[in-house]
Amino acid sequence: MRKVMLVLALLMIPAFTLTSGCVYKTEKEVEKPVATVPPPPPPRVEERPAPPYENSVWVPGHWDWNGHEYVWIPGHWEE
């Protein structure tokens, strides 16, 4: 009986070595598609109003991606 078990065990070794190269990816390892964001529209031309106080710095307007579309953030003065 021991010899039969030994022979069966030895016969199963090649089967284990053939399947040991299989690679299984966890859910975290599976590559997910990457969403591409289109380029923003050209910048808008803005009129710069007079500064509200001395040493003000003009911050120009820009396009901001909100996850679905570009939204224009108007320029403004900062102290």
- pLDDT tens by residue, 21-78: 677 777 777 787 887 899 999 999 999 999 999 999 999 999 999 999 999 999 999 9
10 in a domain, yes or no?
A: no
Do residues 64 and 70 touch, judged by C-beta distance below 8 A? yes
Domain count within the chain:
1
| Any domain includes 17 | no
The answer to whether position 46 is within a domain reads no
Residue 75 located in a structural domain: yes
Torsion 53-59-64-66 (CA) sign: negative
Is the residue at 4 inside a domain?
A: no
pTM above 0.85, yes or no: no
Q: What is the pLDDT of residue 11?
A: 74
Measured distance CA(8)–CA(13) in Å, rounded? 9
Q: Which domain holds residue 69?
A: 54-79
Residue 59 lies in a domain: yes
Partners of residue 62 on adjacent β-strands? 73
